[in-house]
Each structure stands twice: as C-alpha cells, then as structure tokens.
Amino acid sequence: MRVAHRILLAITYAALTSAVAVYVGMRLDTASVWVIAGLVIVSTIAWSSHMIVSRVTDLHDVLGNALRAFRDGDFSLRLTERGDRELAELKHLYNELADAVRHDRQDIHQKEVLLDTILQRTPVAVLLLNAADRIIYSNGAARELFAAGARLDGRAFAEILPTLAVPLREALASPDDTLFSAATSANADVETFHLSQRVFRLNTLPHRLLLIERLTPELRRQEVAVWKKAIRVMNHEINNSIAPISSLFHSARRAQEMPEHRHRLDEIHELIDERLLHLRTFLEGYARFARLPEPHKERVAWSDLLSEVQALYAFRVEGTPSVVCRLDRAQMQQVLINLVKNAHESGSDPGEVVVVIQSAAADCVLRVLDRGRGMSEEVMRQALIPFYSTKPNGSGLGLPLCNEIVEAHGGRMRLAAREGGGTEVTAWVPVG
C-alpha cells in the first residue's frame, strides 16, 4: 500500500512541476518549456523508481535470509523490527514464526532423547530398517545380539545376516511372529527368543521394525511358578484319591465283619481299583515328561512314521517323505502324534492340516501346518512351558514334550504364526 502511495505522489509531483513549467513557459519559448518539463518528469520518475526498487530489494533480502535460515534448520535468526510499518510487521511475523518452530523443535528433541533413553535401556532388541534394507536405528540390546556390541546404524542388513546363528536367520526370513531357540555365541547356552516384525510407512516409504525379546529368564521364572502349581495339583489329586480309598477300605473292613454286608465287598473292591487306576494314570502323565529316556536312534524313513500316524489322524503330506534319518522311532512318532493332534484340535479343517518333510543340509526339516485359531503372542510365549495349557482338560505337556524330544535328538523346534491364520511348527532334526 505504501508503494502505491509513493507512485501516486510521484505522479502528482510531476503534474505540479509540469504546471509550473507551463506557467514559466508563458515567458519562455515553447521548446524551452518542453525541455524543462521533460527533465523534471524524468528526474521524478527516476527518483520514484529508485525508491520502489530499494524497497523491493530490502524485502527480498529480508525474505531471502529468513528462508535460507529455515532451510538450514536455523530458527535462532532474529530480524530487527525497524523500517516502515509494513516491513516491520513482516519482520515481526517472521520472528513469531521462528520462535514457535524453535520451541516445537526443542520439545520434539526432548521427547526423542527420552524415547531413545528408554529404548537403549530396554532388554528387547530393537532394529529399524529403511526401504533400502539399511539399519537406521538400533538399541544396545540389538547391537549386542547382532554385532557383539559393534555399531549397526548405517549398515546393510544383508551383510549382517550371514554372521547370525542359523535359527535367528531362519526366523528373520519369515514375515510372521516367531518363537525360536538359539545360542548367541559359540560358548553361550541355547536361549529362547520371541521375534515380532511390523512393516509401516515413514515419510511415505516402507520401513520394517524388528523386536526380539529374550524369553529365557522369564521362561525360567514361569517354569518355577508352573512347577509349584503342578505340585499343588498333584497334592490335590492324590488327596482326592486317597480320601475315598481310605473310606472304601473302612467300608470293606466293616462289610467283612458283618455277614449281611459281605455282598458289597466286590463293589467296594471295584471302586478301589477304579480310584487307583485314575491315580496311576494321572501320575504316569506327569512322570512321562520327567523321565524321558535318551533316544535310541536307528535309521528310519519318515514315510513309515507318517503312514503310522495317518492311521490315527488325517493330514496331507508334502515335500520328500522318503528322507531317512537316524532317530528314536517311538519318540519321534510321539512328536508327530502330538503336533498333528494339536493341529486338529486348533479348529483347522482336516484338509488344511499339512505335514511337510524336507532335507536341508545336515538336517531333516519337519513342518506341521494348520489353519486353526492360531496362537496369541501371550500363548506363544508360554507354549513350551511344561503344564501350561489353554485347553480346559489339557495337561500342558504336548508341546514341551515334543521340544524335549527334538532337543534330545540334537535338534531344535520353532513356533510361528501363519499369514492368513493358523500355526506352523517347525522341527530341525539332524540326519545322522
């Protein structure tokens, strides 16, 4: 608005000057009048143009410096609020905007520091990969697990994978959540881990977040709690059987002494036998898990084991079932029975229960897949704990017993959720 005022003022001044020149021209010749008027008008226009260009240049310099500061992330630049009113207001607006952005950036930075402090101290390994599969963030647990404490940020994930334990590499190759066991170094004990993977978009580009939780300490704590529970259950069940047996023996003694009641002796003896059989069966289920013998290995074709179990449960066979391994036939048959039985009890259609046998280097790979209800993260975390069960009448010994047998053969077992629903149980068993 001020620029328009200046232009109008310049035009007005030129008109007045011309009028004066005309007045003076009454006493001068015509040529001199036009020369004087022309010089006055040209000077006035030049002066006005200079003023306009000067203001535009000042405005350009102010906006240029401000925008360059914003581009470089420098919000500390302050503009002196001097000059005419319009330019001072513009500088004031810039200063307010810079203050607001600077405060927001400081607040975000403080939150980022707080979040990084929490993530660096958490025992869960956290890795964030960008669209090029490069690591753009890793916490201390991740550096310890993947690189023995060395730096990970900026490295290509593909160059780290070959250095990892085979179970960890195989778990990372799957897009689903996985429970697996592995030794983190040559001299370390085998530990249990839970892997969660999520893909999301950051700045419109896909990123992958990996969370690997070490479950071994928690599993040990839970095992102690579960064993205590098992002891309480055993004590309760034994007392529930001993009390009626004691009462039945008392009744039998009285019937023996009273001839008119001797006809009840056979009935009492049958009830005692029934309670003893129930108690024996109950204790045998617990003892079977505790006294698993060393596997007696022999050369066995998986096709033979599969045909034996197919007589009990229906399933589809894929892969190369003709593979021969050295294993304990009875124990591995029990593994197959338990896994296929679980697949059927998961609510899966029998036609969707699949057993896959494959040969992989020095291992034979057994996979049992279903399309049942699947396992929640909480259930998957505790699935290998003895006596843990989500079934109303379940013993909680099926999967732990399978895991014990596979590990006794020198192998390992992994649980994973299937994309599209269901569960995949994979067991690696050495061929020799």
Rounded-to-integer distance, Cα 50 and Cα 179, Å: 77
Which residue(s) pair with 135 in the sheet? 129
> How many alpha carbons fall within 13 Å on the CB side of residue 296?
3
Check whether 356 has a pLDDT greater than 90.
Answer: yes
Q: What is the DSSP letter of 312?
A: T
Q: What is the mean pLDDT of the chain?
A: 78
DSSP state of 292: P
pLDDT at 319: 92
Query: Partners of 253 in the beta sheet?
Result: none
Residue 79 pLDDT exceeds 50: yes
**Rounded Cα gap, residues 357 and 368, in angstroms:** 9
Q: Which residue has the higher pLDDT, 171 or 357?
A: 357
Per-residue pLDDT tens digits for 254-308: 777 777 666 677 777 777 777 777 777 766 766 665 667 788 899 999 999 999 8
Contact 428, 409 (CB under 8 A): no
Q: Is residue 370 predicted with pLDDT exceeding 90?
A: yes
Percent with pLDDT over 70 in the chain: 71
319: left (phi over 0), alpha (psi -120 to 50) or beta: left
- pLDDT at site 134: 93
pLDDT digits (tens, 9 = 90+) for 318-334: 999 889 999 999 899 98
Indicate yes or no: pTM above 0.85: no
Q: How far apart are CA 34 and CA 352, in angstroms?
A: 104
Ramachandran bin of 263, using left for φ above 0, alpha for ψ from -120 to 50, beta for the remaining angles: alpha
Does residue 73 contact residue 109 with C-beta atoms inside 8 Å?
no
For the chain, the 3-state helix, strand and coil shares in percent, each to the nearest 5, are 55, 20, 25
How high is the pLDDT of residue 228?
65
Lowest mean pLDDT among 50-59, 114-123, 389-398: 50-59
pLDDT band at 422 (very low <50, low <70, confident <90, very high): very high
Q: Per mean pLDDT, which range of 90-94, 153-157, 427-431 is the poorest? A: 90-94
Instruction: Give me the mean pLDDT over the 156-181 stretch.
Output: 85
Q: What is the mean pLDDT of residues 395-419?
A: 85
pLDDT above 80 (res 364): yes
Closest CA to 365 of 275, 428, 286: 428
Residue 292 or 154, more confident: 154
pLDDT for the residue 1: 43
The whole-number average pLDDT for the span 178-195 is 76
**Model pLDDT for residues 215-236, shown as the tens digit of each residue:** 766 556 666 666 666 666 666 6
Please report, for residues 48, 93, 100, the alpha-carbon distance to residue 86 in angstroms, rounded to integers and kept in the order given: 18, 11, 21
Give the helix ranges, DSSP H, for 291-366: 302-310, 329-345
User: How many CB atoms within 10 Å of residue 317?
Assistant: 15
What residue has token string 């892969």? 319
Per-residue DSSP letter, 313: S
Ramachandran class of 195: left when φ > 0, alpha when ψ lies in -120 to 50, beta otherwise: beta
pLDDT in tens, 15-73: 555 555 555 545 545 565 555 556 556 556 655 565 555 565 666 666 777 777 777 77
Closest CA relative to residue 241, chosen from 270, 269, 287, 282: 282
Beta strands in 41-177 (DSSP E): 125-129, 135-138
Burial 416-425 (b: 16+ CB within 10 A, else e): bbeeeebbbb
* Residue 8 pLDDT exceeds 80: no
Q: What is the pLDDT of residue 182?
A: 78
So what's the pLDDT on residue 28? 46
For residues 412 and 422, give the distance between their C-alpha atoms in angstroms, rounded to a whole number. Answer: 21
Query: How far does Cα 60 stand from its chain's mean position?
Result: 50
Rounded to whole angstroms, how far apart are CA atoms 417 and 175?
A: 9
- What's the pLDDT band for 398 if we cut at 50, 70, 90? confident
Q: How far apart are CA 259 and CA 114, in angstroms?
A: 86
